[in-house]
């Protein structure tokens, strides 16, 4: 069964900590994405990557960075976690090319910053 796997389902971190959220896909997808989901705001794109070592800012990149050293892995980094980064984080991946077949999503990581 093809999958996008997020390393943690729930995380609790302290303000100021550096936080790593990991995402791995086994579908050989070119594109990978990080979204955050907040009530009433839907899914907002933080960063995405369309190739290894390539990254592009999404709509809300402030306070985040990403790393994609291998095709299958896309990491989201909170350099200094703050309480307003408490949210559900969703990773997704998709094939490249002009035809968009949509995303496969991971199960999400619910991050609480205290």
Binding site for another protein (CB under 8 A): 31, 33, 35, 40-43, 45, 48-50, 56, 58, 88, 90, 92, 94-96, 98-108, 110
Closer residue to another protein in complex, CB, 15/57: 57
Closer residue to another protein in complex, CB, 16/106: 106
The pair of structure tokens assigned to 70 is 């291998």
Strand spans (E) along the chain: 4-6, 10-13, 19-21, 23-25, 31-38, 42-49, 56-57, 64-70, 73-78, 87-94, 104-105, 109-113
Q: Residue 50: helix, strand or coil by DSSP?
A: coil
Q: How far is the CB of 15 from another protein (least distance, A)?
A: 25
Closest CA to 9 of 114, 113, 112: 112
Closer residue to another protein in complex, CB, 19/47: 47
Closer residue to another protein in complex, CB, 14/40: 40
Q: How far is the CB of 9 from another protein (least distance, A)?
A: 8
Q: How far is the CB of 105 from another protein (least distance, A)?
A: 4
The pair of structure tokens assigned to 15 is 């303000």
């Amino acid at each position: 069964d093809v999958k996008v796997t997020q390393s943690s389902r729930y995380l609790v971190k302290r303000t100021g900590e550096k936080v790593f959220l990991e995402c791995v896909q086994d579908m050989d997808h070119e594109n990978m994405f990080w979204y955050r989901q907040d009530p009433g705001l839907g899914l907002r794109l933080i960063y995405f990557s369309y190739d290894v070592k390539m990254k592009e800012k999404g709509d809300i990149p402030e306070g985040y960075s990403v790393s994609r050293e291998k095709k299958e892995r896309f990491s989201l980094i909170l350099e200094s976690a703050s309480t307003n980064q408490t949210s559900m984080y969703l990773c997704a991946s998709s094939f490249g090319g002009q035809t968009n077949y949509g995303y496969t999503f991971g199960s999400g990581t619910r991050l609480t910053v205290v």
